[in-house]
Amino acid sequence: MPRISERGIEMPASPIRKLAPLSDSAKARGLKVYHLNIGQPDIPTPEVGLNAVRNLDRKILEYSPSDGFRSFREKLVNYYSQFKINVSADDIIITTGGSEAVLFAFMACLNPGDEIIVPEPAYANYMAFAISAGAVIRTVVSTIETGFALPPMEEFEQLINERTKGILICNPNNPTGYLYSRAEMNKLRDLIRKYDLYLFSDEVYREFIYTGSPYISALHLVGIEENVVLIDSVSKRYSECGIREGMLITKNKQLRQTVMKFCQARLSPPLLGQIVAEASLGVSEEYMRDVYEEYLDRRNYVVDTLNRIPGVYSPIPMGAFYTIARLPVDDADKFCAWCLSDFEYEGQTVFMAPASGFYTDPDLGRNEVRIAYVLKKEELQKAMLVLEKALEEYNRKK
Ligand SMILES: Cc1ncc(COP(=O)(O)O)c(C=O)c1O
């Protein structure tokens, strides 16, 4: 049999889905499994978006332009202006989800062997996309003790060498929920300028910021406009994960032209998704406010409850819909697997993502889990009770 590629072998399996077979068996045994492991929102997609497909009047489901429909990109200009992000329709390239935006950004900016620096814990698929592009991810560690604040610039600087091409941040952050402050963003700006690096900034969670702190986009930073590559998506914003629409935004014309070659090769972003996403930009303020309040309420409930469980600690996430919690267990991978394979409380159990999957250093995050608060409050209440009971039983057995 011909051999699989080295790259294919190196490609990590999703840490979020790793335990899925155990969850399937738990369900097959009749258990109710609370999914705290995955960022799939349970919020209904806006009606304006759904109606756009319901009322679709097209004879041909054709390719769209490789960079997406102009009408969609023009509406996005308005959307971004609400966040004081000044871009033109030409700066925006529509991609197949934020995922493809990350991949194309790496493909267009990085040579095989080039390095980018990422604060960890980090969204695990960055590693997978870096491997796809032949690039190398180096990490600086943010810790639960600081609430996952940006590590000191000296730690970034120590890693910078002739192969370093960029820094990647996710803001607000998945998996930590951290929101970078103006001071932190300014420090990053200075570093980017000093070494003339790319700043890849994944801002797909900008709608979900729960503190009074301002949201500082990488595109707000003055003096590095040509270095910034913004990654965006409608997946979380409108609960439209399945339509696969994202954006790569950059003011760097040469980079845009390069990204376009990748876009042309894959012909077109999804047609129907663009129609839905474009219509969704007309969503009511009320919808967005209700969604926001729902997440805020869930966040407050989950974090408060976690911190009341003996031995558990969660910092207060400022944004997104995740938190990393420290549990009183020595190995969260084992504990998460045990919850699915050997535990139940009144016919229920919990599915959490072990945080080890978000770190590159195998020694980090061993007693941490990522919890996504994408379930209704009543479900979260039950899930938190199940988690408390699981911890009691797990530690009694030891
Ligand atoms: C931080 C972050 N970036 C990008 C993505 C990819 O989103 P999309 O569905 O647009 O590909 C996700 C999805 O979970 C995410 O959490």
Q: Tokens 């999914």 map to which residue?
A: 35
Res 366: pLDDT: 96
Q: How far does the chain reach from its first CA to its final CA, in angstroms?
A: 46
Closest of 372, 322, 2 to residue 177, by C-alpha: 322
**Is a pLDDT exceeding 90 seen at residue 110?**
yes
* C-alpha 99 – ligand 1 centre gap (Å): 6
Closest residue CA from atom 4 of ligand 1: 98
pLDDT at 348 over 80: yes
Ligand 1: distance of its center to the CA of 100 in Å? 9
**How far apart are alpha carbons 249 and 203 in whole angstroms?**
11
Longest Cα–Cα distance in the chain = 64
Q: Is the pLDDT of residue 213 over 80?
A: yes
Q: Ligand 1 centroid to 198 CA: how many Å?
A: 20
Cβ count near 253 (within 10 Å): 11
- Nearest-5° angle of CA 245, CA 250, CA 255? 105
Give the C-alpha separation, 308 to 327, whole Å.
12
CA distance 310 to 144: 17
User: What integer is the mean pLDDT of 294-315?
Assistant: 97
Q: Report the share of the chain in percent with pLDDT over 70.
A: 100
Task: Work out the pLDDT band at 39, boundaries 50, 70, 90.
Answer: confident
Quote the tokens at residue 182: 């103006």
Q: What is the pTM of this model?
A: 0.96
| 310 Cα: distance to centroid of ligand 1 (angstroms) | 33
Residue to probe by mutation, ligand 1, list 103, 176, 233, 243, most atoms within 8 Å of CB? 233
Average pLDDT over residues 58-82: 97
Nearest to 23 by CA among 352, 373, 397, 365: 352
Q: What is the mean pLDDT of residues 136-149?
A: 97
CA dihedral 373, 379, 382, 388 (to 10 degrees): -10
How far is 23 from 21, CA to CA, in rounded Å? 5
Q: Which of 119, 105, 113 is nearest to 131 (CA)?
A: 113
Q: What is the predicted pLDDT for the residue at 235?
A: 97
d(CA 339, CA 353): 11
CA count, 13 A, side-chain hemisphere, 184: 21
- Do the Cβ atoms of 116 and 127 come closer than 8 Å? no
Report CA-CA distances (Å) from 136 to 12, 117, 231, 292, 360: 13, 9, 19, 36, 11
Ligand 1 site, CB within 6 A:
39, 97-99, 123, 170, 174, 202, 204, 233, 235, 241, 246
How many whole angstroms from 204 Cα to the centroid of ligand 1? 7
pLDDT, mean over the chain: 96
Atom of ligand 1 nearest to the CA of 170: 1
